[in-house]
Amino acid sequence: MTERFTVSLDKDLAESFEAYRQRLGYASRSEAIRDLLRGFMARERAEGDPDGGCVGILSYVYDHHRGGLGDQLTEAQHAHHDLTVATLHVHLDHDHCLETSILRGPLKRVREFSQQFIARRGVRHGDLHLVPVRVEADQHSHGDHVHAHEHITPHD
């Protein structure tokens, strides 16, 4: 079911929003507003439930010549293997590497782990994008055995 409502904006804000909508390629104002509201509501939900599940995308650039920093980052990921799903490593130039790690777990732990990375000396451009999720245990059979797994669903 869809509900309609009217929003009034002053001229400058309406023009800024229209430029934003066009720049990002939204087909309608409604789609742009829905995405903005979903993002806002997801952040609100996450702040209210720090032990709730999330998927995090942690990205950072670091100088791989800085005194063992690459090894320290790898060791930290191993120490938190329960949070780290996968990491992509890209060589940007002779000195700098970009890494993006997919993290999964309780929001508070994912945020704390990410902040430890971002705050390290030699790490630049660190950023964490959080997606609050519902995690539900499930199982079903595959012929002769039962298979258990989790369903991870983003919050609307």
According to DSSP, residue 93 is labeled: S
Binding residues are: 78, 89, 91, 97
Find the DSSP H helices in 1-156.
11-24, 29-48, 69-79, 107-118
Distance from C-alpha of 118 to C-alpha of 81, rounded to nearest angstrom: 18
- Binding site for Ni(2+): what residues are annotated? 78, 89, 91, 97
CA dihedral 18→24→27→29, nearest 10 degrees, is -40
What burial letters (b/e) apply to 119-148, b meaning 16+ CB within 10 Å?
ebebbeebebebbbbeeeeeeeeeeeeeee
